[in-house]
Amino acid sequence: MSGVVEITLTLQQEPKKFIDEYLKGGGAGGRSPAYKDILFGFDDVQLDGWSASCGPADSPAKYAIAISSATFLQQYLALDRLLTATTIISASAPIDRSSQKLQFLQIVNGEFQYLFDGDPRAPSSLGLSGGEHSLMRQLMVYCPVFLFLHELCHIEDGHLAYRAEQRLARKYWQLEQVREARAKDSRAMEFLADSSAILTGASMVVSSLADKPLTEKISHLKQFGFAVGLNLLLADIADWYPSRPRTLTDPKLNDHPNAGTRLVWCQYIFSDGMFKGMWPETLQANTPAKDAKEAIKAGIDQTVRAWTKLGWKRSAADVDDPALGPYMFEISRQLESPPEFRQPENPNQPVTEVTKL
């Protein structure tokens, strides 16, 4: 195991550098200095295989975003196994090395535990050939970047501020009502943060490959989709095998939606008519949107297929969740970015509607 820990610590430098540069550069539009006041780091405090958080920070920073190092290692361990069951890269470099069932190695409470049936040992990717090695490295950037962008959305789209306002507004409510309302808000904001992380991430991927051929952009969007799928399936594992025994039984008090629902939401977020106006300009300018949408969905679908092929369990979507649908749109209308993150409006750039693409 120590070889794996070493390699992941080295790999961790790449997304860290990428995210630091993104923040220093002023976020997606490259304009707002407020992003410099956001700290980012991998931390070791929580030794559980899937955790990320954001919140206000001590001065001189204003906010902090953290992903646990164990999460990064967990992503690596899962990818190592999933890549034996998929051909994500391209037909010229197939990765399908085996179709056997493999056990899932979970990091929980600082320990490793094996889940599901199959071989406990994955064929090691440490000595992979060139194409597979670079794919692994790329995915090891996209996996934490998706999580980072999800947390960033809670900050830049005003989710934290909204939560603070609601705490005051509900001061005289009954405790049970407050807890239900807060949980429903949180679940709705999770879907919004996933959507925003996908759209911002896709636009970052495409912009960084602006001078590259379309096939390369598509291939990277698929990889990014694969990373999105992996994160949500890891969230599902964390739900099934939590680090602490669950005490909560009332679904109305869950502050995170069922991960199966999040996955389905992310697979279909790009369907026509949903999220009008949210498709980023940069994405539209660089890549035919239909291709981009299909590529991301194809990437997520591939994760799900590889996951199933290895015999790993996952949740079905819970479509009865009241935070999905009208409530989510209602809350999205009430959210406001904190002033320091607002981009100056440019009347010459009409908002692109998804339905037109």
Binding-site ranges for Zn ion (CB under 5 A): 190, 193
* DSSP category for residue 37: G
- Shortest separation between residue 118's beta carbon and Zn ion, angstroms: 31
Given the complex with Zn ion, which of 50 and 80 has the nearer CB atom? Answer: 50
- The residues near 79 (Cβ < 8 Å, ≥ 6 apart) are 125, 136, 139, 140, 143, 230
Given the complex with Zn ion, which of 149 and 283 has the nearer CB atom? Answer: 149
On whether the CB atoms of residues 282 and 209 are closer than 8 A, the answer is no
Given the complex with Zn ion, which of 70 and 147 has the nearer CB atom? Answer: 147
Q: Which candidate, 103, 98, 99, places its Cα nearest to that of 115?
A: 103
Q: What are phi and psi of 137, to 5 degrees?
A: -65, -40
Given the complex with Zn ion, which of 48 and 190 has the nearer CB atom? Answer: 190
Q: Which candidate, 151, 145, 66, 63, places its Cα nearest to that of 340?
A: 63
- Shortest separation between residue 232's beta carbon and Zn ion, angstroms: 12
Given the complex with Zn ion, which of 86 and 261 has the nearer CB atom? Answer: 261
Given the complex with Zn ion, which of 157 and 190 has the nearer CB atom? Answer: 190
Q: With residue 225 as reference, give the H or E element that holds it.
A: helix 214-240
Given the complex with Zn ion, which of 185 and 190 has the nearer CB atom? Answer: 190
Q: Residue 256, SS3?
A: coil
- Shortest separation between residue 86's beta carbon and Zn ion, angstroms: 27
Q: Which candidate, 8, 295, 14, places its Cα nearest to that of 141?
A: 14
* DSSP category for residue 212: S
- Shortest separation between residue 158's beta carbon and Zn ion, angstroms: 14
On whether the CB atoms of residues 161 and 153 are closer than 8 A, the answer is no
Give the angle 219-220-222 at the CA atoms, nearest 5°: 65
Q: With residue 130 as reference, give the H or E element that holds it.
A: helix 130-156
Given the complex with Zn ion, which of 112 and 329 has the nearer CB atom? Answer: 329
What is the C-alpha separation between 164 and 158, in angstroms, rounded? Answer: 10
Q: With residue 232 as reference, give the H or E element that holds it.
A: helix 214-240
What secondary structure, in 3-state letters, does 173-211 show?
CCHHHHHHHHHHHHHHHHHHHHHHHHHHHHHHHHHHCCC
- Shortest separation between residue 356's beta carbon and Zn ion, angstroms: 30
**Beta partners for residue 104, in sequence order:** 115
- Shortest separation between residue 162's beta carbon and Zn ion, angstroms: 13
Q: What are phi and psi of 343, to 5 degrees?
A: -85, 140
- Shortest separation between residue 228's beta carbon and Zn ion, angstroms: 14
Given the complex with Zn ion, which of 16 and 159 has the nearer CB atom? Answer: 159
What is the C-alpha separation between 118 and 101, in angstroms, rounded? Answer: 5
Q: What are phi and psi of 72, to 5 degrees?
A: -65, -45
- Shortest separation between residue 153's beta carbon and Zn ion, angstroms: 8
Given the complex with Zn ion, which of 7 and 160 has the nearer CB atom? Answer: 160
